[in-house]
Every structure is written in C-alpha cells, then in structure tokens.
Amino acid sequence: MVLRLSRITLPKDAMSTAFTIAQTLERRERVRVGSVGHARRSLASKLRIGVGTFENLVRARVKSVDTVIRDRLHALLIRELETEIERLSHELAMARQSGAHLASEQVGEIEAHLAKAHAILNGGA
C-alpha cells in the first residue's frame, strides 16, 4: 500500500518568503561557484527539483509554491547558515590562536559576519 500525502500550496505572503529564500540561496551559491548557471544547477540538485523550476522560483514566475518545496528551501538555507557559522567560528578561533589582536580589522570582520549569520538563523534580519 502506498500512502500519498496531499500537497498543499502556500498563501501569497509565504510564497514571497519562498521566492526570497530562493533568491538568497542563488546569490550565495553564485558567489561561491562564480556562475549563475552552475549555481542554479547545484541548488536545484540539492533541492531535488528541476533547474527550470528553481529558475521560476527565483524569478517569482509561479502561481503557487508547494509546501514541500518551501520546506526544502528553508532547510537548505538553515544548513547553509549553520555551515557558514561553523566556518566563521573556525576562522575566528584560528585568528585568536595565531595571536591576532582582538581589535584587528580581520577579527572584527569575522565577528560581524558571524553575528549576522546568527541573527538570520535566529529569525532576525
């Protein structure tokens, strides 16, 4: 017996959140890989959706967004932020171990990025 879950579509305000998350993920991935095409293919693969579907999400060219896709977008964004927090925490620890002055520009920049990542992850801007 196969159990099927009905797919629920999101209201318009939740759809705009899904569009924003897709755009944020694309922007972050594009910086990492250097190409919009590579970024979209990579993200579509991670989200288990088609590249065209992802592109339509980024461009807000869909009439509805499935809750399954929205949940995958949200989970991927959280994973990306957690990975960035780990990376920045490691950089900060290495800077402190190397004897970098806590007021130095590099350490301050790392701490600022880390605080921003924590704020986003905790629901802030």
Q: Does residue 2 lie within any of the structural domains?
A: no
Structural domain includes residue 4: no
Whole-Å CA distances, 125 to 15, 57, 83, 115, 122: 18, 21, 18, 11, 9
Q: Does 3 fall in a domain?
A: no
Q: Is residue 112 part of a domain?
A: yes
11 pLDDT higher than 90: no
Task: Return all residues near 81 (Cβ < 8 A) that are at least 6 apart.
Answer: 117, 120, 121
Taking the model in full, what pTM does it have? Answer: 0.74
With contact defined as beta carbons under 8 Å apart, do 41 and 55 qualify? no
Residue 9: is its pLDDT beyond 60?
A: no
Q: 80-102 pLDDT, tens per residue?
A: 989 988 988 888 888 778 876 66
Condensed to tens digits (0 to 9), the pLDDT of residues 19-67 reads 999 999 999 999 999 999 999 999 999 999 999 999 999 998 988 888 8
| Residue 31 structural domain | 12-121
Tally of domains in the chain: 1
pLDDT attached to residue 6? 41
As a whole number of angstroms, the distance between CA 44 and CA 27 comes to: 14
